[in-house]
A = this chain, B = another copy of it.
Amino acid sequence: MVVSNYVYICDNLFKKMNHSCPIPISDYPSVTLAHGGGGKLMNQLIEKMFRASFANPMLDSGHDGAVFNMESARMAITTDSYVVHPLFFPGGDIGSLSVNGTVNDLAMCGALPKYLTLGLILEEGLPMETLWRVVQSIRNTADQASVHIVTGDTKVVDKGKGDGIYINTAGVGALNHELVISPEQIRPGDAILLSGDVGRHGMAIMAVREGLEFETSIRSDCAPFYEPVLNMINEGIDIHSMRDLTRGGLAGALVEHSRQAGITLEISEALVPVGDEVQGACEILGLDPFYVANEGRFIVFVPEAQAGHALNILHDSPVSENAVRIGSVEDGDRAIVRLNSRIGAPRIMDLLSGEQLPRIC
């Protein structure tokens, strides 16, 4: 059977819908321009759907923004917009992606994620039930990641000027340490660790989009990974730099690091885990899994002497239980990534011109 979007929509629906849609479908089966107009309908949408789902004291103030206290003066801020197509896919949806993606960007700064903002751009005609499913997914994912949605904004654009839902989240997190985490901190000899297998998110999206059938369906790796990151920091690992492997994949993150720091990275192809289904799907579609986007994977640069300890900590969290060391930082100032391939011949990795798969996040 060809895997259809519908299966995943239903899958998602039954797993995550705790309550029925609070906006009567009989009244408003779909989103109208008036739902973004600052009047009664927008008010109803905000009160009954958003405020009821994300209830917390800061959001409840009903202000234009949220006022809060941070326990640490040092903090991080990040933002991402999410335009993934389709909205639902095996292992996640645009709602879970929009929380995990921003939470993970904060983790990559070494920050404990605290508060998220939520900006929705809805297309006129979006089924109200679809919006409700996404909102429920945002809520559940935020609960899992222990972050609060503290303020938000809703815009509605004319039919044909969007694609269902686009989401922006911005997040702030607290840095309760003095580590400076940046490519400039990388030193020759540093170990390069990878938190798990690569390519699952991009190929999960691609499989749904292309209606591909595999023996086992590929599920996105979409997940929050701040836990193992903060565990490393708390256990005294002197993290030099980190990067999540979203657009551009593993290769993109490595090449950007080598350029920003002006260093040579040496990676062993055979050490990089790639699942059989992902490898197979990539071969069918002519894609390189090293360049495919992930939403629950990261690389981390640590001093050689701490590599074993860091790996042990990573293995203690389910999201990074298959973490491996994939290479080292070499001596020398050539800003290149050298990949030692399975057949022995080294090759230089470069950025692709664009993305192999558009709109995967």
Q: Is A126's CB within 8 Å of the partner chain B?
A: no
Q: Does A78 reach chain B (CB closer than 8 Å)? A: yes
Is there a chain B Cβ closer than 8 Å to A335's Cβ? no
Q: Which residues does chain B contribute within 8 Å of A39, judged by CB atoms?
A: 248, 252, 351-355
Are A38 and B252 also in contact (CB < 8 A) when A65-B108, A121-B166, A161-B162 are?
yes
Give a binary string over A41-60; 1 marks a CB under 8 Å from any B CB, 0 the rest. Answer: 11100000000000000000
A358 near B33: Cβ-Cβ < 8 Å: yes
Q: Which residue of B lies closest to A124 (CB)?
A: B358
Partner pick for A75 among B67, B161, B182, CB 8 A cutoff: B67
| Nearest B residue to A242, CB-CB | B64
Copies of chain A in the complex: 2
Interface residues of A in 59-82 (CB under 8 A from B): 61-71, 73-82
- Interface centre among A115, A293, A355, by most B CB within 10 Å? A355
Contact for A355 among B34, B63, B69, CB less than 8 A: B34
A201 within 8 A of B: no
The complex places the Cα of A236 from the Cα of B247 at a distance, in Å, of 50
Q: Are B36 and A358 in contact (CB under 8 A)?
A: yes
Interface majority SS (helix, strand, loop, mixed), chain A: mixed
Give every chain B residue within 8 A of A248 (Cβ-Cβ).
Answer: 37-39
Q: B358, A80: Cβ atoms under 8 Å?
A: no
Contacts A155-B81, A170-B79, A352-B40 given; indicate if A244 touches B64 (C-beta within 8 A).
yes
> Looking at the complex, which one of B156, B162, B353 makes contact with A358 (CB distance below 8 Å)?
B156
User: Is the beta-carbon distance between A78 and B151 smaller than 8 angstroms?
Assistant: yes
User: Can you give 29 contacting A-B residue pairs, CB < 8 Å?
Assistant: A37-B354, A37-B355, A38-B293, A39-B248, A40-B352, A40-B354, A42-B354, A61-B182, A62-B183, A64-B108, A65-B111, A68-B75, A68-B76, A69-B74, A69-B75, A70-B75, A73-B73, A77-B172, A79-B117, A79-B119, A79-B152, A83-B155, A119-B119, A119-B168, A155-B166, A155-B359, A157-B163, A158-B163, A168-B168
Residues of A whose CB lies within 8 Å of any CB of B are 32-43, 61-71, 73-83, 105-106, 108-111, 115, 117-121, 150-153, 155-158, 160-163, 166, 168, 170-172, 175, 181-183, 243-244, 246-249, 252, 256, 260, 293, 351-356, 358-359
